[in-house]
A and B are shown apart, each in its own frame.
Chain A
Amino acid sequence: MSDLPPTSPVVPRPFSWRSFGRFLGNAALESLDGGKVFYVWMICLSAVFLVGANAWAVQVRDGMALTNMSDHVSWGLYIANFTFLVGLAAGGVMMVIPAYLYHDEEMHDIVIIGELLAIAAIIMSLMFVVCDLGRPDRFWHLLPPFGRLNFPVSMLSWDVIVLNGYLFINAYICAYLLYTRYLGLTPNPRWYVPFVFLSIIWAISIHTVTAFLYCGLGGRPFWNTALLAPRFLASAFVSGPAFIVLAIQVIRQAVGRHFGDGPIRTLVNIMRITILVNLLMVVSEVFTEFYTGGAHTSSGRYLYFGLHGHTELVPWIWCSVGLVIVAAGLLLSPSVFTNPWVLNTACVLAFIGIWIEKGMGLIIPGFVPSTLHEIVEYRPSAIEWKVTAGIWALGLILYTLFIKIAAGIFLNRTKLQALPDIQPAPAPAETPSISATS
């Protein structure tokens, strides 16, 4: 994208809510247009989403007994995915920091890929929380002034605030950038750069606060460690960039343009460090648990080796450890920059490894053994897998559409005149294109 010279854009139009509405309309229409691959992809995702929606509806009607959660393991796959997705959302910031703090121009051009990921991931994480609620109809109890948000005592109330705040900040930034570009204007840094810096701090906060949800509980020694929040961040800064690298490559194929080698190199360099920091923290925790021993470490023993013959999580966690170690090896090898297969494999392995580690490997052992040292194991039920797949499908649908909207505007394909504005557009919609610099 950036190889094109900045040209004086299409005749600028003034901002108005009406034209913003039209912009949204055009963008939505444009985003639904695509080739065969696009439609197959979207139909498959929609089908999975429908299965998930149905599973959730049944779960709400018949009760959460349809999940395999219990009074002993009272959070399961949903909260596991929620935790991971907060990290994925925070991980998008690893594009924003190089772009805005280190003025990496090439990264700057495509930083919206990370910002849109943050939006999709936050929406998914919020949906996982809603699906975990026994009474989703009482959701309004969280919303002042009619509800009673227990702020600032409950960390969950903080989480509600920071997650929604992060969603709004990113939605605003993306909408502003895309809309100004659509109008043919150059985005005014005054109107969005402060929010970008806010989003950087906010990204750290969402994962920190989410870690505080768990590590503030004195009755759960497995979570009650000061290392939890730093570990969350380290792993988020692996999974986020890994996803973005893969996304960039898919987008390159889809729009038929080559871009983003520089950003990918930067993201790989980031992952090379964060994945090692994450492994170091795992080693540190494992050492503390096993060298000390005692009752407080029984969750750790259950997770890694099983406890009194209960070994449900052992394959999960060793799978995760293996994936992350292999990914680290691949990322550190020089061929990661030359061989796309090495890069892609590393990203996929790291992503799955962290998904297990931040999900099943973190949430479930907090409950096993229970606070009264009973051992009740947990394996997600079919309903839980369906709902989980459904939310992921919806997230991917949203992300695909967001990226299509952005690509359409950045590549000047979204047609300004599609829904007629004040006058027929003077319309050099076919001009070579606006450069993506903002």
Chain B
Amino acid sequence: MSSNGPTGKEGNGGTDGGGGGCGKSDCGCVSRRTVMKGVGATLGTAAFARAIAPLTEWAANISADEFLQRHYKELSLVDLNIVLRRLEKETKDDYGAEVTISDPKPQEGVKFGYALNLSVCNGCRKCAEACHIENNHDRPSHQSYIRVFEMQKGTMDMEQGNVNYDKPVPQPDKFYMPVQCQQCEHPPCVDVCPVEATWKEPDGIVVVDYNWCIGCRYCEAACPYHARRFNWTKPEIPKEEINPDQGYLSNRIRPQGTMEKCTFCLHRTRNGRLPACLEACPTGARVFGNLLDPKSEIRWVLEHKRVFILKEDLGLKPQFFYFFDS
């Protein structure tokens, strides 16, 4: 590296070190070394500017309003409205689709729970497909918040399960187990987020502010249920396939480089509708409802069926339950 033994000799003498150049000197003392350095610095700067040019192209797509947008919880109603309109406009500009982005709030006295009957689930993956469409997922990657496992009868060992099955369902020696976000009572994904971009809502749904997430993917590492997804690219969806009924915290089209996750379709469920995956299920395996309502179907299931919780030993208290008939 620095063989500066001989260094000083050249540039030193009367001329003040290598690169400086003494302001008042007109003695032709600008050494060859100084000139070379100047040329090197100029070329280097130009090359660097060229190298990071893609950044400027990218930055041109980020408006100042988007860059400066505050955290969801710090937005006043007026601010939020401005943001929603801006996002609608961006969707129009980027995807050509007219959409409505709303922000339904959690309801008092409601805590959502989900139960899934493994005795009747036949592994048709209609739920995963409905999720894909409802939540405006990236089309080329066939993204969905639900993964359906084909499990060997006689074991609950997921290592023996297979998510890429391609035979007609149901196979006689198999049973099927869809897995999605379990909306934990103690969600580790929320704890680990360094910027509070994800949190648990009063109705039990863990949400992400897609415009606050920095994309570090620590939550993805922390989740034991593989419930979180990252937008590795800008989602691609043909205009006519975009679901125009969107929620800020749920199914609006996510920006590139941010996390996303199942929200129990809060833009539907907070307005009294059922999750898309439930509506799509042909077997009636899915039961959704308010855990705080003693007369709800889900409470009946929890009280009368053989219920189990995935990875219960981790102590995260999911609000997603599996059960068997009879």
Contacts and interface: CB of A to CB of B under 8 A. Distances in A.
Do these two chains really belong together in a complex? yes
Interface of A: 26, 29-30, 32-38, 41, 43, 46, 50-51, 53-54, 56-58, 60-65, 67, 69-72, 74-75, 129, 132-139, 141-142, 147-150, 153-157, 160, 213, 216-220, 250-251, 253-256, 295, 298, 366-367, 369-374, 400, 403-404, 407-408, 413, 415, 417-419
B230 interface: yes
Contacts of A60: 54-55, 58
Interface residues of B, number: 78
B214 A33 contact: no
B52 A137 contact: no
Contact of B257 (A32, A63, A149, A408): A63
A63 B233 contact: yes
Interface stretch (B120-128, B190-198, B239-247): B190-198
B188 A217 contact: yes
Contact of B4 (A54, A219, A370, A413): A413
Contacts of A38: 1-4
Given A50-B51, A139-B214, A404 B2 contact: yes
B221 A62 contact: no
Contacts of B292: none
A74 B257 CA distance: 12
A255 B2 contact: yes
Contacts of B75: none
Contacts of B192: 154-156, 216-217
B194 A63 contact: no
Given A135-B255, A256-B5, A371-B225, 14 more contacts: A34-B1, A53-B52, A54-B51, A64-B215, A64-B257, A129-B216, A134-B231, A135-B215, A135-B258, A139-B214, A213-B218, A250-B1, A418-B16, A418-B17
B196 A142 contact: no
Nearest to A62: B233
Contacts of B306: none
Contacts of B212: 138, 141, 148
B195 A64 contact: no
A245 to B, nearest CB: 16
Contact of A50 (B1, B16, B37, B47): B47
Interface string B157-169: 1110101000000
B84 interface: no
8 contacts: A33-B8, A38-B4, A50-B48, A132-B216, A138-B215, A213-B218, A372-B158, A417-B16
Contacts of B220: 71, 74
A26 B18 CA distance: 10
Contacts of A138: 195, 212-215
B78 interface: no
Nearest to B22: A420
B256 interface: yes
B233 to A, nearest CB: 4
Given A135-B258, A400-B1, A33 B11 contact: yes
Nearest to B161: A373
Main secondary structure of the interface of B (DSSP, over half): loop
A142 B194 contact: yes
A32 B194 contact: no
B53 interface: yes
A156 B230 contact: no
Contact of B149 (A254, A372, A418): A372
B222 interface: yes
Given A75-B217, A135-B258, A219-B314, A41 B51 contact: no
B106 interface: no
Nearest to B216: A133
Interface string B1-32: 11111111001100011111000000000000
A135 B12 CA distance: 47
Nearest to A214: B221
Contacts of A72: 226
A35 B221 contact: no
Given A63-B234, A372-B149, A404-B2, A35 B18 contact: no
A32 B44 CA distance: 14
A219 B222 contact: yes
Interface in B27-45: 33, 37, 40, 44
A33 B48 contact: no
A183 B191 CA distance: 49
Contacts of B3: 34-38, 253-254, 256
Contacts of B19: 29, 32-33
A64 B255 CA distance: 12
Nearest to B177: A372
Contact of B214 (A46, A65, A135, A153): A135
A148 B40 CA distance: 42
Contact of A33 (B18, B50, B194): B18
Contacts of B51: 50-51, 53-54, 57
Contacts of B255: 135
A433 to B, nearest CB: 14
Nearest to A155: B192
A29 B216 contact: no
B92 interface: no
B179 A372 contact: yes
Contacts of A419: 16, 20
A408 B5 CA distance: 11
Nearest to B71: A148
B226 A372 contact: yes
Contacts of B158: 372-373
A357 to B, nearest CB: 19
